[in-house]
Amino acid sequence: MKKIMVTGAIASLIPSLLNAGALEEVVVTAQKRSQSINDVGLSVSAATGEQITDAGISDTGDLIKVSPGLVFTASQNGTPLFSLRGVGFNDYTLGASPAVSVYVDEVPLAYGAFTKGATLDLERVEVLKGPQGLLFGQNSTGGAINYIAAKPTEEFEAGGRISYGRFNKMEVDGHVSGPLSETVSGRVALATTQADEWQESISSSRELGAEDLFKGRAQLLIDVSDRTTVLAGVNGWTDKSDTQAAQLQDLKLQYSSPSEPLVSDTAAMQSRIDAFFDQPNADNDARSAEWDEGRDLSRDDREGLHNLPRS
């Protein structure tokens, strides 16, 4: 009987697990230690870095392609909302603690808005379904998403990828890894996404929707002794993309009885309703939208994560 090390409990995602005429035992690390898949009482979806790239996954929300039961919702202000098997926290404010926690090398990303740079240069990703409070803390009622970054290598290697799409959208990423000395190796990975505007104003020639995202990671792996290694890393990203403008599809009003007015200031509410009716309808055009003249809808988001040295 052979043993194969894999990174999750979904054997179907690893194409080389079964060989003709051979029975192979699958050893997983879903509970932070090596175990046979038969001994793991968890439901886990796992994908390697190569599978993530092949599936076109560039953001945490794209994991729905490889993880059944994971649901991603984009909120009105851009904060991602995740739920696993129907368990989540439907609060799109920036400071809301999620019910599905996200980690990079077991370092928690406290809020959903921090997850934009998590998918850079990965060795694998594991999606653990169901409550994970014992292993991953209180903000994992629905489950946990754990990204494992690719580590520095003892041999020199480099790679990259370029893709081009509609609206001049270009995605470029690459990495360089190798030894710096006999006891130190390093790895640097960078990625950027650039795209032109795709939304069009109904009332004028204005455009919106440009993308300007940059991600980076640097790591050092130090061999202190035969039994001790230290890994230190720095992760960061900046996002200066445009936020998406709203579309007016329809306005349906719900009135209360005259004896129980819906609002205390009826005149003020009526003025807001009239303003909606004055807006042009987007109909069935996904690109059509409308926003206030002179309003700046560009982002200026950034985040840095320092991994403390770990042995």
Q: Encode pLDDT of 189-240 as tens digits.
A: 999 999 999 999 888 888 999 999 999 999 999 999 888 899 999 989 999 9
Do 5 and 34 meet the contact criterion of CB atoms below 8 Å apart? yes
Backbone angles phi, psi at 24, to 5 degrees: -120, 135
Give pLDDT tens digits for 90-125: 777 777 778 888 888 878 888 878 888 888 999 888
Same domain, 137 and 264: no
Domain boundary among 103, 130, 149: 149
Between CA 290 and CA 247 the distance in angstroms is 7
Same domain, 160 and 135: no
Looking up tokens 């489950």 gives: 143
- Tell which wins on pLDDT, 59 or 199: 199
Between CA 154 and CA 148 the distance in angstroms is 18
Q: What is the pLDDT of residue 271?
A: 79
Same domain, 194 and 281: yes
Q: Give the percent of the chain with pLDDT over 90.
A: 25
Same domain, 75 and 87: yes
- Neighbouring CB atoms inside 10 A of 181's CB total 9
Query: Residue 156 to residues 49, 182, 296: CA-CA distances in angstroms?
Result: 18, 13, 45
Say if residue 8's pLDDT is above 90: no
Same domain, 129 and 158: no
Give pLDDT tens digits for 138-197: 678 888 888 889 999 999 999 999 999 999 999 999 999 999 999 999 999 999 999 999
Domain boundary among 98, 116, 149: 149
Tell me the pLDDT band of 262, cut-offs 50, 70 and 90. Answer: low
Q: Which residues are bridge partners to 220 per DSSP?
A: 186, 232
Q: What is the pLDDT of residue 7?
A: 42
Question: What's the sign of the alpha-carbon dihedral 66, 72, 74, 79?
Answer: negative
Do 132 and 149 meet the contact criterion of CB atoms below 8 Å apart? no
The stretch 237-246 carries a mean pLDDT of 88
Please give the structure tokens belonging to residue 96. Answer: 């809301």
Same domain, 304 and 160: yes
CA 110 to the chain's CA centroid: 13
pTM, entire model:
0.75
Tell me the pLDDT band of 293, cut-offs 50, 70 and 90. Answer: confident
Backbone angles phi, psi at 294, to 5 degrees: 85, 0
What residues make up the domain containing 237? 151-311
Q: What is the pLDDT of residue 283?
A: 74
The stretch 14-31 carries a mean pLDDT of 49
Q: For residue 63, what is the domain's CATH number?
A: 2.170.130.10
Task: Give all strands of the β-sheet with 301-310 in edge-to-edge order.
Answer: 157-165, 169-179, 184-195, 211-223, 229-239, 301-310
Q: What is the pLDDT of residue 230?
A: 92
In the chain, how long is the greatest CA-to-CA distance? 83
Looking up tokens 């370092």 gives: 107
Residue 284 lies in a domain: yes
Between CA 216 and CA 189 the distance in angstroms is 6
